[in-house]
């Protein structure tokens, strides 16, 4: 079996390598303003994250298949080129594109279900990192059972008037916009009567209350709506059919919470760290116990990448259902990343637990912080337990979980 890419892809590989060499050691001038951004201090070129995003798009390394009129590269999807670029970026330590709820979740939803006006207005600034979005789904009494949401939206004089509360809203304090689920048809059944609205975060009557979590950062927020009024056109899909739109977004969310390329980059970062750190004069990479654990995680990361490629390939073939595959990607990917971060902490001992100001920080203190952060992502987008139930029932055809009666 010939597994070589072929001459056309070898040329593309050289093109990507030249790009990576040009931008190796890139520094971000605005990294302090970008959540979870890490500023590379190795003396490479400097630019803002937004300019880097534009550079990646202009060269076809991001938003490759999104039409140019919406701010994308305007090319065709190519699984092999995507794999080559991801591999070369990882090998060179070149940062990938910005992600986030707007880029990873809303943009593909609008491409699929949005109006032409919505695509033209929102996709380009979102792709370029100029418009940040948050997700208004969960409520105090509607988490895993999302369809129980009670935030109310009324259409009055062609304007939506929203009242209610959302919780666990990531990045709300940084966002300009929210895609939000509200109940617009109170007499309809639970899964019906929900609409998918686009809400500017500076609208009067909207209040954000940050929630400080165990990372000592406000990663989540409560958001309160008091007569928040937005244009009637700020709805994606039809009135009362927001559940179908939300499920489309959830599918994209599950795929984005566990990025296989980011996981491979992190694994390479761990390997480099193990080559530098020593115990009794021996590098950690030479320690047989740690190296065995590393190889176990490395095998899982490679298998995870293969699964993600299979999902990507299926997405490019009409008629193939990738919903279960994305759920598997979310389930395995978030738990694997948490395991990987935990290994990083273990090998460094007490140094791995540092993530605030300290002269002994390793990699910006990112290991402990990201370990706790991914514990949250195991819950976000549907807990691991929920994912396992859906995979077993819809993917494997196992009996549905019995419901307790009369309690």
Kindly list the catalytic residues: 253
How far is Cα 119 from Cα 388, in angstroms, rounded to an integer? Answer: 34
Among 36, 91, 25, 28, smallest CA distance to 365 is for 36
Token pair in block for residue 346: 């273990």
Q: Residue 67: in which H helix or E strand, if any?
A: none
Among 75, 67, 158, smallest CA distance to 120 is for 67
Q: In 3-state terms, what secondary structure has residue 199?
A: strand
**Helix H segments across 216-322?**
242-256, 260-276, 288-315
Q: Is the dihedral of CA 21, 25, 27, 33 positive or negative?
A: positive
Token pair in block for residue 34: 């970008």
Beta carbons within 10 angstroms of residue 404's beta carbon: 6
Is residue 396 classed exposed, middle or buried when 0-12, 13-18 and 19+ CB atoms within 10 A define those classes?
exposed
Give every CB contact of residue 48 below 8 A, 6+ residues apart in sequence: 28, 29, 30
**DSSP readout, 133-196?**
EEEE--BTTBSSSGGG---EEEEETTEEEEEEEE-S-TTGGG-SEEEEEEE--TTS-TTSSEEE
Token pair in block for residue 42: 């190795």
């Amino acid at each position: 079996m010939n597994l070589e890419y072929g001459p056309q892809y070898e040329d593309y590989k050289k093109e990507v390598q030249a790009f990576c060499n040009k931008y190796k050691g890139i520094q971000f001038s605005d990294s302090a303003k970008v959540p979870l951004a890490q500023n590379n201090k190795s003396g490479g070129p400097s630019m803002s994250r937004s300019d880097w995003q534009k550079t990646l798009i202009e060269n076809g390394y991001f938003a490759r298949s999104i039409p140019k009129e919406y701010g994308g590269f305007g090319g065709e999807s190519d699984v092999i080129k995507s794999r080559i670029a991801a591999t070369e970026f990882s090998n060179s330590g070149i940062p990938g594109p910005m992600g986030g709820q707007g880029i990873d979740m809303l943009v593909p939803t609008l491409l699929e279900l949005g109006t032409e006006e919505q695509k033209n207005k929102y996709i380009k600034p979102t792709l370029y990192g100029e418009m940040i979005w948050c997700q208004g789904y969960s409520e105090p009494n509607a988490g895993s059972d999302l369809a129980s949401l009670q935030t109310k939206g009324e259409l009055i004089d062609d304007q939506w008037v929203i009242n209610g509360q959302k919780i666990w809203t990531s990045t709300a304090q940084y966002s300009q916009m929210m895609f939000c689920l509200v109940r617009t048809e109170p007499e309809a059944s639970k899964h019906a009567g929900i609409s998918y609205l686009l809400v500017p975060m500076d609208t009067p009557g909207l209040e954000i209350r940050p929630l400080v979590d165990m990372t000592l950062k406000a990663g989540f927020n409560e958001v309160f709506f008091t007569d928040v009024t937005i244009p009637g056109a700020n709805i994606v899909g039809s009135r009362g059919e927001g559940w179908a739109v939300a499920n489309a977004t959830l599918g994209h969310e599950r795929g984005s919470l566990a990025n296989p390329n980011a996981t491979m980059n992190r694994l390479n970062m761990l390997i480099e760290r193990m080559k530098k750190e020593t115990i009794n004069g021996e590098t950690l990479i030479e320690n047989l116990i740690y190296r065995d654990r590393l190889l176990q995680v490395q095998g899982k990361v490679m298998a995870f990448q293969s699964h993600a490629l299979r999902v990507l390939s299926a997405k490019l073939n009409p008629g193939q259902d990738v919903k279960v595959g994305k759920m598997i990607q979310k389930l395995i990917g978030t738990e694997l990343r948490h395991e990987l971060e935990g290994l990083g902490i273990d090998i460094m001992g007490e140094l791995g637990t540092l993530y605030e100001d300290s002269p002994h920080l390793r990699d910006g203190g990112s290991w402990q912080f990201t370990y706790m952060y991914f514990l949250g992502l195991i819950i976000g987008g549907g807990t691991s337990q929920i994912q396992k139930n859906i995979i077993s029932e819809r993917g494997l055809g196992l009996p549905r979980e019995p419901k307790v009666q009369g309690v």
